[in-house]
Structure 1
């Protein structure tokens, strides 16, 4: 099996695992399992943002949230400490799930290790691929999830979240984010957060 076939097979198995997500989202008149749609958006955004991304980075983007619903947020305390613990557990969980599928497809240990490294978000701001992945995560959030999220929260919280998101991004990521087709309201919030 060549690299192209392996990549396609890994994508198929990642999407199949995510197809069991009981949460759904409608876009373009079509209903998707939530994590399948998220994975497709990650791949689409990575392809546009970093068309020369390595195979390991392409794999990581596609399985970034694999089976996320299996570890619900409400299993942890609803405070910052609980949130951080939940995020750490999710990273390990995603890495283990991805490893299982990549071994099944026949990937070598070096590639699997690189995907695990990226899923654990190691060396953010220091490792170019980890940073590219984080930029893509932030761009997907800003483009597809920020506005629905903004409808449910007050401005101070939104500005704080936008500022934290901005700090995680590279300059290239930030410049790309500024070109996203925000609504007037969202654009005003982004501008306020960035200038603040």
Structure 2
């Protein structure tokens, strides 16, 4: 395997283990064993376990940024693309949630997901390139956080309540439109 594919394998394995067991409960030896690589190879690519975690999160945020900059989809269609991305990256969503809930420096790890949205909104808003704090508060607590929680709990919610994933997704999008969508409708009316 080429070095880049070994690095990718290490990151994929770390992401799976961090999501399953938690960052603190996962050791470098376990990552190496599960990836089938020597521990020294992990340290060749990453200075530390924290560096490995940061690489996993950076890869997620970079892909998320690409989705936000893809202008082919608009409105609810764009949200559907975003939700599909989160579902495909459910392990990263779990890592973001679990690490952000800890006290200490990792608490802000989830805010990294807000940065690309702030950047793109600033690019699109020529009359107000720096949105006010209330806007970002609303984006975070009525869109980003609920969407990440949705993908983290989707499977167990369906099992617990005996509903299909399709039904749950439909009900979630209805709730999303009524909350976050209503906020955007309000902003659109106010800005006219």
- Both structures adopt the same fold (TM-score exceeding 0.5): no
Question: Which structure shows the higher strand fraction?
Answer: 1
Q: TM-score, normalised by structure 1?
A: 0.29
Q: TM-score, normalised by structure 2?
A: 0.29
Q: Who wins on radius of gyration, i.e. which is larger? A: 2
